[in-house]
C-alpha cells in the first residue's frame, strides 16, 4: 500500500500564497551601489501590482550598526541569510544593475537552484548567458 507523499515546505508556502490570493512577489537583488536603481525598480514593480522585497540596508553607507569591523561581519552574515529567506519567499528574482559581484552571483545561483525565475535590468550581465 502506498501513501501520498507529504508536501514540501516550499509547496505548502506556494499553496498558502495561492489561498491568500497574494500578488506575485518579486525580490530585488544586486549590488547596493545600485540602491537608487533598486528604488526605481521597486516603484515600477509595485505599480505593476507586485509585492516587492529588497535589501533594506546599504552597508557601504556609514552607520553605527556596522561601524565596528567585527560587528559589521556579523551584521553582513545576518543580512545575507535574511536575503536568502527573501529569495525563498519570492516567486521571482529581479537583478538590478550592470554589474554582478560575488554576493549577487551567489544569490542568482541560489535562486535558480530553487527554480525561481531570474530577470535582469541588464540581461547582458546574466552569468548564464
Whether residue 40 is contained in a domain is answered as yes
- pTM for this predicted structure: 0.91
Residue 3 has pLDDT above 90, yes or no: no
Residue 98 has pLDDT above 90, yes or no: yes
Q: What is the pLDDT of residue 60?
A: 87
- Counting the structural domains of the chain, the total is 1
Whether residue 4 is contained in a domain is answered as no
Residue 120 contacts by C-beta under 8 Å, 6 or more apart in sequence? Answer: 94, 95, 126
| Partners of residue 26 on adjacent β-strands | 52, 92
- For residue 65, the domain's CATH number is 3.40.50.450
Q: How far apart are CA 37 and CA 120, in angstroms?
A: 12
Lowest-confidence region among 58-62, 77-81, 119-123: 58-62
Q: How far apart are CA 81 and CA 107, in angstroms?
A: 10
Domain that holds residue 97: 22-123
Q: Which residue, chain included where needed, has cell 515546505?
A: 9
Average of per-residue pLDDT across 69-78: 92
Whether residue 16 is contained in a domain is answered as no
Nearest to 95 by CA among 27, 29, 26: 29
Question: By percentage, how much of the chain surpasses pLDDT 70?
Answer: 99
Q: Which residue, chain included where needed, has cell 556579523?
A: 74
Whether residue 15 is contained in a domain is answered as no
Whether residue 59 is contained in a domain is answered as yes
Whether residue 11 is contained in a domain is answered as no
Average of per-residue pLDDT across 18-33: 96
Amino acid at each position: 500500500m502506498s501513501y501520498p507523499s507529504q508536501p514540501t515546505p516550499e509547496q505548502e508556502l506556494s499553496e498558502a500564497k495561492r489561498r491568500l490570493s497574494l500578488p506575485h512577489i518579486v525580490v530585488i537583488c544586486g549590488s547596493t551601489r545600485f540602491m537608487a536603481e533598486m528604488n526605481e525598480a521597486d516603484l515600477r514593480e509595485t505599480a505593476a501590482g507586485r509585492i516587492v522585497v529588497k535589501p533594506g540596508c546599504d552597508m557601504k553607507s556609514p552607520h553605527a550598526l556596522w561601524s565596528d569591523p567585527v560587528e559589521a561581519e556579523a551584521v553582513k552574515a545576518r543580512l545575507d541569510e535574511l536575503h536568502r529567506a527573501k529569495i525563498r519567499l519570492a516567486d521571482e528574482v529581479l537583478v538590478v544593475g550592470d554589474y554582478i559581484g560575488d554576493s549577487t552571483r551567489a544569490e542568482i545561483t541560489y535562486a535558480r537552484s530553487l527554480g525561481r525565475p531570474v530577470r535582469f535590468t541588464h540581461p547582458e550581465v546574466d552569468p548564464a548567458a
